[in-house]
Copies of this chain bind each other. A is one copy, B any other.
Amino acid sequence: MQTRLALITPGPTPIPPQVEAALAEPLLHHRSPDFRALLTETLERLRGAFATDGEVLMFAGSGTTGMESAVCNLLSAGDRVVVATAGNFGERWVRICRAYGLDVEVVEHAWGEKLDPRRVAAVCDGARAVFVTHSETSTGVVHDVRALSEAVAASGALLVVDAVSSLGGVELATDAWGIDVVVAGSQKALMTPPGLAFAAVSERAWKAAAGARLPRFSLDWAAAREAQRAGNTAFTPPVTLVAGLRAALRLIDEHGMPAIWAHNRRMALAVREGVKALGLGLFSPDDESSAMVTAVRMPAGVDGQRVHATLRDRHGIVLAGGQGPLRGKIMRIGHMGWMSDFDMITALAGLELALIEHGHRPPSPGAGAARAIELFAKTAA
């Protein structure tokens, strides 16, 4: 009997019971005072989560929807833009920009590398916008967007950051770091089911949007801002998901962001050390910059896709496999959102059991879980 499915992935992440309860509340009409109050509180708390005094816009959609909104609201056909890539989600910026007919200069890094601010800054002159990823979920690397922002500043190009999988899980100070646009989604560190996208927009970005000629309608930022200022949305919003998000943001505000970041760093450290104790290598950096997801190298001759299936079908544990060139080669463990120390121990124990079934033996039984427990005992929760 499979009793419980453990979702220990970099998103969707588990939903806290308070959020589940809010999701199950009776449906509100989206043009009602009750919804207006719900939306207003949610947007105010989102500003806190983005660390911005500016507008945070909300759209129905996936994280990619938020990314696309930045491209079509900021630019005109033929504009020169720079995209820095080091994995699947960096490459998504390239695909979106090309779909919109932009002149794209790609600063390509190998999957797993950290974006190099000097390489990016070297090609920014004359670019209208620079697109980067905060947490590159495909590799486990959290890029240093603060350094990227400083490096790009002199060029005058707008800096647009994909924080879909990082917002709320690791520090990101939109205003203080001088980032023009930050996009995010509901289903990662924000602990809500997928279906909502966000864009935090700076004054400089609003000016650019006013002159941008790429076509857009349901993703039009100005229409969204006008509606939101009246406590409304431009089009029918996913009402239940907004109710869930408010509950999640209340939880986040109760704990405080710094405590959540510390919790994630602590879980990440235990996973890294546990993985090494299992005799496995890390693909993601062996430091705090892999704060959201740890990418574990599969032992030689072991197919990660098969390990992934064993974990899911035999042990009820959902981790994430590798994407693109990393398919079958790595396994990714999420440590963000509503996850606990014991989820990390479960992930390490499950990984050990599944690898044994695929012929890889750890140095000693339970070595990964034991190392994690040792670390958790040393660092107060």
Contact A95–B60 (Cβ < 8 Å):
no
Minimal Cβ-Cβ distance residue in B for A312: B32
Minimal Cβ-Cβ distance residue in B for A214: B215
Main secondary structure of the interface of A (DSSP, over half): loop
A224-244 CB contacts (< 8 Å) to partner B:
235-241
Residues of B within 8 A of A217 (CB): 64, 68, 71, 95-96, 99-100
* Contact surface of A with B, Cβ cutoff 8 Å: 5, 7, 9, 11-12, 14-15, 20, 23-24, 26-27, 29-32, 60-65, 68, 71-72, 95-96, 99-101, 185, 187, 193-195, 214-218, 220, 235-241, 312, 318, 320
* C-alpha gap A27/B62 in the complex (Å): 16
Residues of B within 8 A of A235 (CB): 62-65
* C-alpha gap A60/B218 in the complex (Å): 12
Residues of B within 8 A of A220 (CB): 99
Contact A236–B24 (Cβ < 8 Å):
no
Residues of B within 8 A of A214 (CB): 215
Q: Nearest Cβ distance between residue A12 and chain B, in whole angstroms? A: 5
Q: Which of B23, B62, B318, B320 contacts A237 (CB 8 A)?
A: B62
Q: Which of B7, B9, B14, B240 contacts A193 (CB 8 A)?
A: B240
Contact A239–B60 (Cβ < 8 Å):
no
Minimal Cβ-Cβ distance residue in B for A69: B218
Q: Which of B12, B30, B32, B215 contacts A236 (CB 8 A)?
A: B12
Residues of B within 8 A of A27 (CB): 7, 12, 14-15, 193
Q: Nearest Cβ distance between residue A65 and chain B, in whole angstroms? A: 5
* C-alpha gap A85/B284 in the complex (Å): 56
Contact B100–A215 (Cβ < 8 Å):
yes
* C-alpha gap A220/B32 in the complex (Å): 33
The 10 A-B pairs of least Cβ separation, nearest first, read A195-B238, A62-B235, A62-B236, A193-B240, A99-B217, A100-B215, A64-B235, A60-B61, A194-B236, A96-B217
Q: Nearest Cβ distance between residue A299 and chain B, in whole angstroms? A: 23
Q: Nearest Cβ distance between residue A190 and chain B, in whole angstroms? A: 13
Q: A24-B24, A27-B7, A194-B30 are in contact. Are A64 and B218 (CB under 8 A)?
A: yes
Minimal Cβ-Cβ distance residue in B for A13: B27
Residues of B within 8 A of A63 (CB): 235-236
* 10 CB-based A-B contacts, threshold 8 Å: A7-B27, A12-B27, A32-B318, A60-B195, A64-B218, A195-B237, A238-B238, A240-B240, A240-B241, A241-B241
* C-alpha gap A114/B240 in the complex (Å): 34
Q: Which of B12, B15, B61 contacts A65 (CB 8 A)?
A: B61
Minimal Cβ-Cβ distance residue in B for A240: B193
Q: A23-B24, A27-B193, A64-B235 are in contact. Are A215 and B215 (CB under 8 A)?
A: yes
Q: Nearest Cβ distance between residue A105 and chain B, in whole angstroms? A: 19
Residues of B within 8 A of A312 (CB): 32
Contact B236–A29 (Cβ < 8 Å):
no
Residues of B within 8 A of A99 (CB): 215-217, 220
Contact A68–B12 (Cβ < 8 Å):
no
* C-alpha gap A318/B31 in the complex (Å): 10
Residues of B within 8 A of A32 (CB): 312, 318
Q: Nearest Cβ distance between residue A271 and chain B, in whole angstroms? A: 19
